[in-house]
Structure 1
């Protein structure tokens, strides 16, 4: 076998490798330099963003580190392979980039929304927020999603794009929070007296702010009540403080109004049953339509008919009892009295002699 051709090829490859070896070494050195630069940039970003949110600091430092590393890799390939240029790489990735963009559209959207949320900081970790049907405390703000812990101990993961596009209520955005509740009193009660009692009850509860002062406003004349809205402020505004304050205030208001004799009406319902099956027995149409309007008497219900039967039976029993209690009287006799017999007159033998 002739190994000369193989040897020539190996020799050519060796010469080519030795020719590009300096470029390889220079490229590796450049990459190492860029690694140190990336670390330095990350430290600078962390130092300048230390006063901001921890998640934002971590995100920006990582982004800066990755960006510098990618730049170093591109420079390294340019040195090692002179024919390689970043423009050729971008053109090669152009078609594939479009496909990747469509495939990872939601991921990129959530990533960008997470970056914007961390930059703008509409809410932070440990804030209590409400989004649609979810309400709880923010645990983490990541690049893809935000996690909150609900008040009943569940974790909810919400995509950042949802939080960035839709409305979110931040309950702890400010240091204080206003609470309110409507109390209904009777129409016969004194409104001013009730308002004064409500204010006294609210002010008697601890941790109620005096500035702004509590208020009691008439807000509605309802069907059976005059509604007075009690409003007061608390600090801090977290969920536990909200519930404790509302419990104490409502208890104090109820006790205060009850002691003063203020009526607290509540809605009642009266259900009337009209049984017409006896009168309309067999007539399904009349049973479905009900009794037509007219000037005649309304037929009695079954309950009324049974009550009348019981009363009639009781009356008959009373009459029978009264008849038994009366003494029996015999009818007078119509015979004529018999005359008394006359004594017999004496004969001749009865004379004195």
Structure 2
């Protein structure tokens, strides 16, 4: 064994040199592909996919050459035969890895959910910061970073909030039953339209929706920017404007009348005392 180890040292040294050359070639190929892709209009996720595939191809070729140097009997044909024999075992052992890998490729290829988009998936709500072949990073608005396996984002429903530049917002507001609904409609519509962050290109909807316990409820809908600070501040400004407009018009926003049921604890305590 010692003689065999000493005899194989030159081949191992050459293999290590080949691995070092492979690392340098992979790095250079990545830079060249980045320059070429930089002149195109490919999405950031596709650029990341091309860069990963280039480096992966170089590393596979270098590893193959190094393996042939160390094991002269090794050949691509024997590698394919070995993979055929162990394909089932490898598939079970690395099922999650291959699932996330393929899901990552599909996510990078599709047009939706790109880096920079705001998405919702289950309890996750935040901005896409990074997409790799195995996992994606979602930054919540409260600062936390969610690292999700790509299979989750590929199989579960994903709501892309920023797919369009503008999206519709809505809020529910109630007015008292003695209010003229047409007057309330006009006041609310004027208040929403006075907010600068509300889109002026799309209609504002003020829809009488429900006879509630103490009010007639309106569903108020408007369009505004789907991302950035305006997406957060426009609702605040709209609610303030509606409240201010209704107050100035003398229209009441009622609150539900809540009744509380109290048990007569004193007589019950006396009955228990007498029974004792």
TM-score between the two structures when normalised by the length of structure 1: 0.63
Superposed displacement of residue 252, structure 1: 0.9
* Structure with the greater alpha carbon radius of gyration: 1
Instruction: Name the structure where strand makes up a greater proportion of residues.
Output: 2
> How far apart, in 2, do the equivalents of 1:165 and 1:279 lie?
58
The equivalent position to 1:208 in structure 2, one of 198, 206, 226, is 198
Counterpart in the other structure of 1:107 = 97
- 1:261 matches 2:250: yes
> How far apart, in 1, do the equivalents of 2:29 and 2:271 lie?
96
Superposed displacement of residue 45, structure 1: 7.9
Superposed displacement of residue 243, structure 1: 2.3
Residues 205 and 249 of structure 1 are in contact (CA less than 8 Å); yes or no, is this contact kept in structure 2?
yes
Superposed displacement of residue 65, structure 1: 4.0
What are the equivalent positions in structure 2 for 1:43-82 lying under 5 Å apart? 43=32, 47=36, 50-68=40-58, 70-71=60-61, 74=64
The equivalent position to 1:172 in structure 2, one of 133, 149, 162, is 162
Judging changes above 3 Å, is the alpha-carbon distance between structure 1 residues 147 and 259 closer, same or farther for their aligned structure 2 residues?
same
Residues 186 and 262 of structure 1 are in contact (CA less than 8 Å); yes or no, is this contact kept in structure 2?
yes
Counterpart of 1:282 in 2: which secondary structure? Answer: helix
> How far apart, in 2, do the equivalents of 1:99 and 1:116 lie?
25
Superposed displacement of residue 36, structure 1: 7.0
Residues 137 and 147 of structure 2 are in contact (CA less than 8 Å); yes or no, is this contact kept in structure 1?
yes
Counterpart in the other structure of 1:241 = 230
> How far apart, in 1, do the equivalents of 2:269 and 2:146 lie?
60
Report which stretch shifted further, 164-173 or 112-121.
112-121
RMSD (Å), alpha carbons: 3.6
* 1:277-303 C-alpha deviation (Å, 9 max, x unpaired): 54894369x9xxxxxxxxxxxxxxxxx
TM-score between the two structures when normalised by the length of structure 2: 0.79
Judging changes above 3 Å, is the alpha-carbon distance between structure 1 residues 84 and 149 closer, same or farther for their aligned structure 2 residues?
closer
Superposed displacement of residue 170, structure 1: 1.1
Judging changes above 3 Å, is the alpha-carbon distance between structure 1 residues 99 and 197 closer, same or farther for their aligned structure 2 residues?
same
The equivalent position to 1:157 in structure 2, one of 147, 151, 159, is 147
Query: Gapped runs of 5+ residues in structure 1?
Result: 1-12, 14-24, 287-353
Report which stretch shifted further, 215-224 or 82-91.
82-91
Greater relative contact order (Cα < 8 A, sep 6+): 2
* 1:105-160 C-alpha deviation (Å, 9 max, x unpaired): 11121111111111114212221111111211111112211111111111111111
Counterpart in the other structure of 1:88 = 78
Q: Number of matched residues?
A: 258
Counterpart in the other structure of 1:188 = 178
